[in-house]
Structure 1
Amino acid sequence: MTPIITLTTDFGLKDYFVGTLKGTIYKELSDAKIVDISHDISPFNIQECAYILENAYKHFPEGTIHIVGVDSEPTPENQHIAVLVNGHYFISANNGVIGLITSEVQPEKVVELNIPNPSHGSFPVLDVFVQVACHIARGGTLEVVGKPFDGLKELREFAPSATDNGNKIIGSVIYIDNYGNVVTNIHRNYFEAYRKGRDFELNARTTKIKKIHNKYSDIINFDLERSQRKGAGDLLALFNSAGYVQLSIYKSDLNTVGGASTLLGLDYRDTVTISFV
């Protein structure tokens, strides 16, 4: 049974790039199963790519091969690598995406790709990554296409930090989703490790929030009359399905009334802090 091959890129769908990848894979493996995770990653946005890929790959069966087409041009500091993590194969440039995914999971194997007669054109995802993916899909090993590598790039700048003797967490916005929800890099586990049962205040620009919900509808007190309840258009913070602190406008529409990102004036890398009291 041929394993699934996933594609995560910043190519968009206007151009021929995604179709070319799929066509080439099918030429090599006529029974291939290809799944698009996303082609709408913001150009060269490593953190966004890692966030989407980290929260998607876990839902695929072990043995799945993930091609990562973001910032993939090889340089002496951006090597091409293949990594085995949690039974999944990732083929990427060493740009920090895989380092973010493996920040809490030890990879089983990491190799720097060294395939024979590689094409050094402007489309390395096609020229190199697809070749390696098809090799693995046929049952090939990483040792054949690469040599052991211990320089996996880690981007610590994207991690939250605790200051003031653990009384404050300083995080940042790592992703704005399709609804305009603002996702921070503060995970529930990190938050709880420093909270220790204390009250807190979350600050994002001029916004202050003192409660984090577990789901969107938690904002509604169904014991109140409808006219007295919070509801559509109201701001809330919650732990999203990936476990990260997220700011949302309940039942928002980014294309009409706006979402949390536009209404709060928050964008990628903006600071969000949590102070414990």
Structure 2
Amino acid sequence: MHSLIALLTDFGLDDPYVGQMKAVLARECPDSTVTDLTHGVEPFNIAQGAFFLAASAPHFPEGAVLLAVVDPGVGSGRPILVARQDGRTIVAPDNGLAALALIPEHAELHHVNQLPEKASATFHGRDIFAPIAARIARGEALSGFCHPVSAEETVRPLWTEPLMGRGKCSARVLHVDRFGNCVLNLRAGALGPLHNLQISTPLGRELPAVDTYSDLPEGAPGLLEGSQGFFEIAVNLGSAARQLGLSMGDAVTLRWDA
């Protein structure tokens, strides 16, 4: 069975870890095509990895297996999640990494209950996750090594959703891209039309809501719905992170006329 397996990790490319995972996939499922989504997730940053996964999953074809490993709890008793949604399968530690990508009422959720007998306690990506992804890519039934779970039995961290109130939203920065755009945990379309928007940041600034970067004067900050499906704070031809003093994980408050 020919299948596509996409890899997302915080392993980087300096060490042999990604190559070893690919070696296992090639051995266990030689007919699969393996592609790299990214291995540049900041080490241990589950929220950033969750954003990358959520923004990218819809672009993969049905039948794809998305293997995501950002796993600070490797070797512990944390469960392994296998989730199916829109014809795609996500394999990830159940630590919130898949939470942004999944709509609980639309996803089939499972925990793995059959693990390899021999596995390194510190490299489950190679010894556990890759073999699981290969089994799925080969077309094995999940019932052979998983059991279904409810959404309440999976991890959904507080940063998965912003705190919404009347004329107010408390959000967090999930990611700062190489241009300095600050992606928030606020999905595009969530706010509707905005008037007299202002944003509280470490420096305190009032920002307009715009459609695209060029709607802002050069060097001016604003808020827009980005291409990755989430709102972002941006500066036209500049870095919002540097100008506003924002970093991943920072809280921001949006206020507007309700």
TM-score by length of 2: 0.90
Distance in 1 separating the partners of 2:168 and 2:28? 53
CA distance in 2, matches of 1:17, 1:116: 19
Q: How does 1:1-277 map to 2 (within 5 A)?
A: 2-71=2-71, 73-76=74-77, 78-103=78-103, 106-150=106-150, 151-163=153-165, 166-192=166-192, 198-219=195-216, 230-231=217-218, 233-252=219-238, 259-277=239-257
CA gap of 1:178–1:105, structure 2 versus 1, over 3 A, is farther
Letter in 2 for 1:269: G
Unaligned runs of 5+ in 2: none
1:120 deviation in Å? 4.4
- Whether the 8 Å contact between 2:74 and 2:124 is mirrored in structure 1 is yes
Percent of matched pairs sharing the same residue: 26
Q: Which has the larger radius of gyration?
A: 1
1:106/1:74 CA distance change after superposition, 3 Å: farther
- Structure 1 residue 93 displacement after superposition: 0.9
- Give the Å deviation of 1:245: 2.1
CA–CA separation in structure 2 for the residues paired with 1:113 and 1:57: 25
Contact 1:8–1:53 (8 Å) recurs in 2:
yes
Q: Displacement, 1:124? A: 0.6
Distance 1:145 1:109 in 2: 13
Q: Deviations over 1:14-61 (max 9, x none)?
A: 000011111221122333211111101011111111100111111010
Deviation at 1:247, TM superposition (A): 1.5
Report the CA distance shift for 1:40/1:98 in structure 2 as closer, same or farther (over 3 A). Answer: same
> How many residues are aligned here?
254
CA distance in 2, matches of 1:203, 1:248: 14
CA drift at 1:206: 2.6
Task: Please identify runs of 4+ aligned residues in structure 1 that moved more than 3 A.
Answer: none
- RMSD value over aligned CA atoms? 2.0
Deviation at 1:205, TM superposition (A): 2.4
1:145-195 residue CA offsets vs partner (Å, 9 max, x unmatched):
2222331111124421124xx121111211111211111112233222xx6
Q: 1:55 to 1:157 in 2, by over 3 A?
A: closer
Indicate the SS of the match to 1:191. coil
- In the superposition, the TM-score normalised over structure 1's length comes to 0.84
Deviations 1:201-256 (A, max 9, x none): 2222234234211211222xxxxxxxxxx23x33232210133221222233xxxx
